[in-house]
Structure 1
Amino acid sequence: MARKFVQLNISKQVAYVTLNRPDKYNALNFEMFSEIDSVIRELKKNRSICAVILSGSKGNFSSGLDVKSVIQSPMQPMKLLFKWLPGNANLAQRVSLGWRRLPVPVIAVIEGCCFGGGMQIALGADIRIAEQDAKLSIMEAKWGLLPDMAGLVSLRELVTKDQAMLLTMTAGVITAKDALSKGLVTEVIDSPMERAIELVEQLAKTSPDANAAIKQSINKSWNSSIRSLLSRESISQIKLLLGKNRIVAAKRQTGDPDKAYQARQSWW
């Protein structure tokens, strides 16, 4: 499928997704929202990939919503925000929440600016690796708005409530070092893309089914009751025991380290 503003390249079972509107610092127009949503749907069907690396082109992650572009058409804001039920995710929310719902680890590589909607997208990733000079901001309050792209789902797990209030109400720009101290990013490093590639090489050595189960268990059990957590763990473990990749993992540990994993089970 041809896409103009989002690039998808798959190499060695790793999906590289690049926000590609460099002349606008990868600002989000309506087409980019649609293309990100499309990429997420495509990746969800691909059981051969073991990880996703999400980044922005030409040294910036994303400067956030391209307000001028989106408001040029009265229908575009409506299409971004429309949902059949209040509890469903609309298009603007799916481009963040969708990464959490993929059954593979998603690593965001944050370079340059990561503001507003771009920060909301990065929050949807499982791991965020920022370069030393990156700048981050939850910037919606600057425009008289609240962050409404589902980034709060992850934000409430990453930072304390008072820090969430401070970050969102002030719309302040913070350094990568400050973001790390607050828990907003996972690591700060000079070469975040190299680090991301190193991590996916490590992830490729473990079962894609186990990684899918772990991601699902952590995301769904983080704030759930103990009974729900115990139930989910037991059901997931039974699925793993019945799957072929559990046998592959055992063989890799007992003398056949190059044994290839099979495609992820469809139930994840």
Structure 2
Amino acid sequence: MPTSDRVVCTIEAGVAEVRLNRGDKHNGLDPAMFEAIVAAGETLRGDHSVRVVILCGDGPSFCAGLDFKAFISGGEAVREQLLAWKDGQIGNLAQRLAWVWTTVPVPVIAAVHGTCVGGGLQLALAADLRVIHPDSKLAVREIEYGMIPDMSISKTLSRLVRLDVAKELTFTGRDFSGQEAAQLGIATRLSQDPLATAREIAAQIATRSPEAVRAAKQLWDRAPALEDEAALRLETQLQLPLLGSRNQLEAVQARFMKREPKFVDPA
């Protein structure tokens, strides 16, 4: 597993937990953190034993965004490291920190507590689900520093809220709570203990047919952007390989026999 001093990864019973590991810095994003988070996503993307991923943060916050001191001290080299596009990749390193989680074929759950602003919010937005503490502090912070948010938010936040809401949060850079995040549609669920709730959701997902869960993620990631006929065709295309498959038959048998299913991991 891609465990480092910046990110700690564990896998248990099909659930991968990716913990940002700079709690003393509110998990501020320095260059090493960018590299470690992307490496974790790229590794888990190809791990067929993983059925669901949880993103969480050590210490008092999920992620307080960029560690500006680290970037100022790094100078032009750090700017090039983060913002340069490389052939064959979608996005630069800064964008891939968040975007890589949209490419993981299994559900990704962000467990958000404390501060979650700027790059931290954009990381959480890339997850499929967000479990957020009601008192968490969130913000699209970049405008306060004379910048725009540029870590894939144009594709992630726009899936969750109306365009005018995304603009207002971006133009003002204002703080909003987890409670408001739920009202806006950013929080999937509120919880006094986001990580415990995320683990409960993950454990339930991990008991479902892994191929069906992966297909369901593809369906909701792709279908909303398609025309009606194409969306309906996609449903059929994703369904046909499931029907009669080993895990689909196991799901049916377990359901009728009222026992826990025993699924095999995808090849």
TM-score normalised over the length of structure 1: 0.94
Match of 1:209 in 2: 211
- Kindly tell me the number of residue pairs found equivalent between the two proteins: 265
Q: Which moved more, 1:53-62 or 1:248-257?
A: 248-257
Alignment of 1:175-190 (within 5 A): 175-190=177-192
Q: How far is the alpha carbon of 1:99 from its aligned partner?
A: 1.1
Q: Deviations over 1:141-168 (max 9, x none)?
A: 1111111100221211111111101111
**1:91 corresponds to which letter in structure 2?**
L
- TM-aligned CA deviation for residue 133 of structure 1: 1.8
Amino acid at match of 2:112: I
Alignment of 1:8-23 (within 5 A): 8-23=9-24
Give the corresponding residue for 2:255: 253
Q: What residue ranges of structure 1 are gaps of 5+ in the alignment?
A: none
Is 1:44 matched up with 2:63?
no
Q: What is aligned with 1:61? A: 62
Moved more, 40-49 or 224-233: 224-233
Q: What secondary structure does 1:254 align onto?
A: helix
Q: Any idea what SS the aligned residue of 1:72 has?
A: helix
1:181 and 1:13 map into 2 onto residues whose CA distance is: 32
1:42-87 CA distance string (max 9 Å, x none): 1011111111111110131000011221232221111211114699
CA distance in 2, matches of 1:260, 1:77: 48
SS of 2:132 mapped into structure 1: strand
CA contact (8 A) 1:71 1:77 kept: no
* C-alpha distance in structure 2 between counterparts of 1:17 and 1:235, whole Å: 32
TM-score, with structure 2 as normaliser: 0.94
Partner residue, 1:129:
131
Please give the residue correspondences for 1:98-109 in structure 2 after superposition, counting only pairs within 5 Å. Answer: 98-109=100-111
Where do 4+ consecutive residues of structure 1 move more than 4 Å? none
AA of the residue aligned to 1:8: C
Give 1:52-201 correspondences, 5 Å limit: 52-73=53-74, 74-84=76-86, 88-201=90-203
Q: Is the 8 A contact 1:60 1:113 kept in 2?
A: yes
